[in-house]
DNA sequence: CATACAATATTATTTACGAAAAATGGTATA
DNA sequence: TATACCATTTTTCGTAAATAATATTGTATG
């Protein structure tokens, strides 16, 4: 068993959303391209025009599409895409090569999370800091690489973002979650790293509790740098395996929990 | 004439989206609340059930709502809202008091933009840096507080985000835009500030061109701190005026869902 | 007491038709 | 020739109504 991304039963319009999103994010459909008319596209995909329209609305809400009467539905410029949208991040993680994806995400985390830790130390409410502490204790008391441990890890980082007392930062929990999910999936193949994980998390917690802003920030930077190193090792070693895994994941229909034993 | 936010003719489903979004973001509808059934809600708002459903899909895509058969459509927890979504930011800017809104946004910019400037100095492509330079020159050659100047200012910051060569950072242009729009609307009342704006922008550009990462970051920090001071002055002086302005902005009711003017 | 099953309420989905918006091309007029 | 206007046509937008799927809740049965 392992933490899972959304992949199970989906509504019809969600299936269309996913199908189109993947086509756009993978570059099959490119910015400026105009989709077939609602009538053609929906019959092509074998769904009702209404369901198709609902899918278009969802993707427009995420900045991927734009519809205008008489001209059609067009793929918007990349700069208009809401890349931080949780679903878009999730789709990208399935499409892009792990290393490129991980690079961008880690770079982003290295900006956001140390700053959040700093703010948490400055103005995090006692309750929020208590939530961080609770997540840490759960982390320390659960088996490494277990689902409970993963969830506590995520809670830890999410709680720090929330303790920053800034709504914009708080809403970035999903960015962390997506990266952690990717990390988890990759390092589940090759466990053993992350020995220093608990003390590094502990250091962050301690400095936030101390209300030492700069040290809290630095502790988070250290923690992330370590996590990145661990992940880089996995990527180095498993580069070909993971590539195979990506390719051998064409349809999630099988819903095989964890054990992808011999895809053939 | 001034740069305008989206407020003109809207499709019916967009009007419903806006109406519901405002209710949610303003706290009239609270997390956990269940909306009326599609039938009731749509007849209540005097739109078809299809149009209402499209609106629900849009808000679900932004993390505000969640629909399940038999149970209804529920407002999701705040932590699930995509606060960085451009539209959500725009709606919030209309609802929240300027000072609170500006606080959060500036805090966020002070984290993101110096880091982006640093990355731009490190790995920004010559073309991207040229775009920054072009925006700067336009800024320097247009009248302060003109629409052209505003747009060049926005382009400047957006180009730096893009020059960071990180898709996640690039997609944050809208955060900057929303804050600049708010700033523009506020300081349009009381022009005269921002004399040092051009040289401060110039310093950022120069350090990026020098490929001096730390100085580029610091120059951006200085620029933002200055902009924040200017804006704080405006907020201090115009606190009551702006409040009045906010209240005197109910003209959107004319285009409200179903156009039910004088409900009696 | 628990388990299975049936009733029910709500969203999900399809189908069909008509309205509105906007790009295009043609036509008249200066 | 060029410009303004107008009709045409294509496409999305919006409404309506009927049926399906699904999850909750109540009810009966072992």
- Tokens linked to B134: 């072009």
Q: In this complex, do B61 and A63 lie within 8 Å of one another by their Cβ atoms?
A: no
Convert the pLDDT of each residue in B178-227 to its tens digit.
Answer: 999 988 888 765 555 567 899 999 999 999 999 999 999 999 999 999 99
Interface of A with B (CB under 8 A): 13, 50, 53-54, 57-63, 78-79, 81-87, 104-105, 107-108, 111-112, 115, 119, 158, 162, 166-173, 175
Gap between the Cα atoms of A214 and B206, Å rounded: 29
With contact defined as beta carbons under 8 Å apart, do B118 and B188 qualify? no
Nucleotide nearest to B40 (CA to C1'): C10
- E-strand ranges in chain A read 65-68, 72-75
Q: Which of A22, A55, A80 is the last residue of a domain?
A: A80
Checking if the pLDDT of B249 tops 60, the result is no
Residue B225 lies in a domain: yes
Convert the pLDDT of each residue in B3-17 to its tens digit.
Answer: 656 556 789 999 999
Residues A32 and A147 in one domain: no
With contact defined as beta carbons under 8 Å apart, do B4 and B190 qualify? no
Q: Where would I find the H helices in chain B? A: 12-25, 38-45, 49-61, 86-95, 98-123, 126-140, 147-163, 167-170, 173-187, 197-210, 213-247
Residue A87 lies in a domain: no
Rg of chain B over CA atoms, in angstroms? 21
Checking if the pLDDT of B256 tops 60, the result is no
Checking if the pLDDT of B33 tops 90, the result is yes
Convert the pLDDT of each residue in A77-100 to its tens digit.
Answer: 999 999 999 999 999 999 998 888
Convert the pLDDT of each residue in A136-189 to its tens digit.
Answer: 999 999 988 788 999 999 999 999 999 999 999 999 999 999 999 988 888 765
Residues A117 and A25 in one domain: no
Nearest alpha-carbon partner for A116 in A199, A223, A225, A220:
A220
Residues B74 and B116 in one domain: no
- Tokens linked to A66: 């734009």
Residues A32 and A112 in one domain: no
The count of structural domains within chain A is 2
Q: In this complex, do A84 and B171 lie within 8 Å of one another by their Cβ atoms?
A: yes
Residues B108 and B156 in one domain: yes
Residues B95 and B50 in one domain: no
Neighbours of A37 (CB within 10 A): 12
Convert the pLDDT of each residue in A193-208 to its tens digit.
Answer: 567 889 999 999 999 9
In chain B, the percentage of residues whose pLDDT exceeds 70 is 84
Q: A49-61 and B49-61 helices cross at what angle (nearest 10)?
A: 40
First to last CA, chain B: 37
Amino acid whose CA is nearest the C1' of D16: B48
Q: How many CB pairs under 8 A join A and B?
A: 97
pLDDT computed for residue B188 by the predictor:
64
Checking if the pLDDT of A59 tops 70, the result is yes
pLDDT computed for residue A258 by the predictor:
35
Gap between the Cα atoms of A70 and A65, Å rounded: 15
Asked if A9 CB < 7 A from strand C, the reply is no
Q: Which structural domain range is residue B180 located in?
A: 86-250
Q: Which of B82, B111, B144 is the last residue of a domain?
A: B82
Q: Would you call A34 helix, strand, or coil by DSSP?
A: strand
**Residues comprising chain A, all counted:** 264
CATH number of the domain enclosing B69: 1.10.10.10
Convert the pLDDT of each residue in A213-260 to its tens digit.
Answer: 999 999 999 999 999 988 888 887 765 454 544 444 443 333 333 333
Q: What is the mean predicted confidence (pLDDT) over B131-141?
A: 97
Checking if the pLDDT of B91 tops 70, the result is yes
Residue B152 lies in a domain: yes
Average pLDDT, chain B: 87
pLDDT computed for residue A264 by the predictor:
32
Nearest alpha-carbon partner for A140 in A76, A64, A197, A69:
A197
Average pLDDT, chain A: 87
Residues A126 and A178 in one domain: yes
Q: Which of A25, A56, A80 is the last residue of a domain?
A: A80
Residue of A nearest to B57 (CA): A58
Checking if the pLDDT of A72 tops 70, the result is yes
Residue B129 lies in a domain: yes
Checking if the pLDDT of B67 tops 70, the result is yes
Residues A110 and A221 in one domain: yes
With contact defined as beta carbons under 8 Å apart, do A65 and A45 qualify? no
Residues A55 and A102 in one domain: no
pLDDT computed for residue B87 by the predictor:
97
Residues A76 and A100 in one domain: no
The distance of A249 to chain B (nearest Cα, Å) reads: 25
Checking if the pLDDT of B34 tops 60, the result is yes
Most confident range (mean pLDDT) of A2-6, A101-105, A180-184, B188-192 is A101-105
- Tokens linked to B9: 């003719």
Gap between the Cα atoms of B135 and B157, Å rounded: 9
pLDDT computed for residue A119 by the predictor:
98
CATH number of the domain enclosing A200: 1.20.120.530
pLDDT tier at B230, thresholds 50, 70, 90: confident
Q: Decide: residue A76, CB within 10 A, 0-12 exposed, 13-18 middle, 19+ buried.
A: middle
Residues B107 and B233 in one domain: yes
> Given CA atoms A66, A67, A70, A72 in this order, what sign does their dihedral have?
positive
User: Which bases of strand D have any atom within 7 Å of the beta carbon of a protein residue?
Assistant: 9-17, 21-24
With contact defined as beta carbons under 8 Å apart, do B157 and B120 qualify? no
pLDDT computed for residue A188 by the predictor:
63
pLDDT computed for residue A154 by the predictor:
96
Residues B76 and B110 in one domain: no
């Amino acid at each position: 068993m392992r933490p899972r991304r959304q992949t199970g039963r989906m509504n019809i319009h969600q299936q269309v959303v996913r199908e189109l999103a993947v086509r756009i994010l993978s570059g099959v459909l490119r910015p400026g391209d105009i989709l077939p008319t609602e009538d053609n596209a929906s019959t092509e995909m074998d769904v009702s025009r209404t369901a198709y329209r609902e899918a278009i609305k969802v993707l427009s809400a995420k900045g991927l599409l734009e519809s205008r009467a008489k001209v059609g539905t067009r793929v918007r410029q990349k700069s208009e895409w809401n890349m931080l949208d949780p679903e878009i991040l999730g789709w990208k993680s399935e499409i892009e090569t792990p290393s490129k994806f991980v690079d961008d995400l880690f770079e982003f985390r290295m900006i956001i999370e140390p700053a959040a830790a700093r703010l948490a130390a400055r103005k995090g409410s006692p309750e929020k800091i208590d939530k961080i502490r609770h997540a840490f204790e759960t982390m320390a008391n659960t088996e490494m690489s277990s689902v409970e441990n993963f969830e506590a890890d995520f809670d830890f980082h999410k709680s720090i973002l929330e303790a920053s007392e800034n709504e914009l930062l708080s809403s970035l929990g999903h960015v962390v979650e997506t990266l952690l999910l990717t990390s988890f999936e990759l390092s589940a193949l090759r466990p053993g790293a992350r020995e220093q994980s608990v003390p590094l998390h502990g250091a962050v917690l301690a400095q936030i509790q101390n209300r030492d802003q700069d040290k809290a920030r630095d502790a988070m930077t250290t923690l992330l740098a370590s996590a990145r190193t661990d992940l880089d090792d996995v990527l180095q070693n498993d580069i070909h395996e993971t590539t195979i895994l990506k390719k051998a994941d064409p349809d999630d229909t099988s819903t095989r929990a964890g054990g992808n034993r011999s895809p053939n």
